[in-house]
Structure 1
Amino acid sequence: MAKGGGSRRAPRQGKSVKRTDASSPRRANTPARATRPKPAAPEPTAPEPSTFVLGAIPGATPGKWIDTWRERMPRVELELRPLAVAAQREELLSGELDAALVRLPLVADGLHVIPLYDEQPVVVVSKDSHLTAVDELNLADLEGEVVIAPLDDVLGVTVPGAVAPAFDPPETTGDAIATVGSGVGVVIVPMSLARLHQRRDAASIPLRDGPVSQVALAWPADRTTPHVDAFVGIVRGRTANSSRA
């Protein structure tokens, strides 16, 4: 019996003694498993900026369509180019334009043409003319008047009983209206051209029985690009989310 009256307890049989980490055996030649990094997802690339070239005849007013284009297609610049009516078909087929606002009639071979709107004709007269006494005119009212047709005339109106000018035709509609403003003759044009060349010394009077001028959108038939489709949708009033009709 040990000193102090106590007895030493023998360890219980069958109970294992927990080994420390230092005494634990390590598997030899077992390399640590490497964690492979996940490849980073490629960042989406923005489309390259590009340009849509739109021709426009004098008097065309594409402003609202251009505003809509810039809202929907911010990365595609719309370049507006002046287009003479006499050269509109040639310019469209040259490849320099993606599309154009044109004035009909137009030979449509090789082109897609969508009529957009009609323009009423007006008679531009001097502000002091006796013709300003009425709100509207008929062709018969122009009998005896000097009717000026510029070289870029787009209506080709024949006025029964009109007087031919004693001078060469002005080169442009703007020149013809300036001549009218000086007190010589009258000129018949679509309303948009009268507004384009508006002057303080001239007035415009609607012509009830004159020829209507039609404005259309045209583009080469073999170049119907996604940009052309987008512009067609805009002029037809489709929303950004609507399908092609």
Structure 2
Amino acid sequence: MFEKVNPAHPDKIADRIAGALVDLAYKSERNPRIAVEVLIGHGTCHIIAETSVQLSIDDVTAAVHRIAGFLNVDYSEVPQDVHLSRNQSGAIRCGDNGIFKGVPVTAEQKSLASGVRKMYEEYPFDGKYIIDGHRAIVCQSNVSHSELLPLWPLAEINPLGDWTGGTDVDTGATNRKLGSDMADSVTGGGLHGKDLSKADVSVNIYAWLKAQKTREPVEMCCAIGDETVDGIPYSEIVETARAYIESVGGFEKFAEWGLVC
């Protein structure tokens, strides 16, 4: 069973905004410390950022407007906790506690993700899609049932009926669609709105990539301050994750589809 949402889903819009702010931090420093939470809906975007890099409110507002439209922006920025900041100084150390796993993506999951991407190219509106082997459910906004039927002839299409979707219909929040982003690899922590020191980002990406390469499940655990994880230097894990993020075009682009794309 697998659920995939597209980049216009309100939760993914929140993830994309959070990713855009992390990209802004990385423009200022190679290794910033930042964690961003976004709650968006019904004309307003609330953002809290804990960061070592001061972000321009004009840049923050521009990112929100570019991704989500001309909403009211409520932005609060605070420095990183002094104890966490001290722990992270002088070396590349794990910035969070966690248990993480990577699981090979199945053919069914790949097929659904590919189909959703192609559909989004034609219909770039809020949508959610579910498959469990015997049942497929397609909820696509701003498109009629008759248009979708030839594309998904065996699916249940828009069970609710035609709908508008978007942030005027539903709220969105950061990291609420990890199942869509990670499939069976979901454990604790969130992928989006955080810098590479956070295990939620780097260890999740590292474990997921290793599982796809070996085609075997991977499990890893770590604690704040660790300089190695299961014998692997944390700096190596961070650089592997950095290379992956750069390969997809940055944190905002990563947030569009997650790891299963």
TM-score for both structures, normalised by structure 1: 0.22
TM-score for both structures, normalised by structure 2: 0.21
> Structure with the greater relative contact order (CA < 8 A, sep ≥ 6): 1 or 2?
2
More helix by share: 2
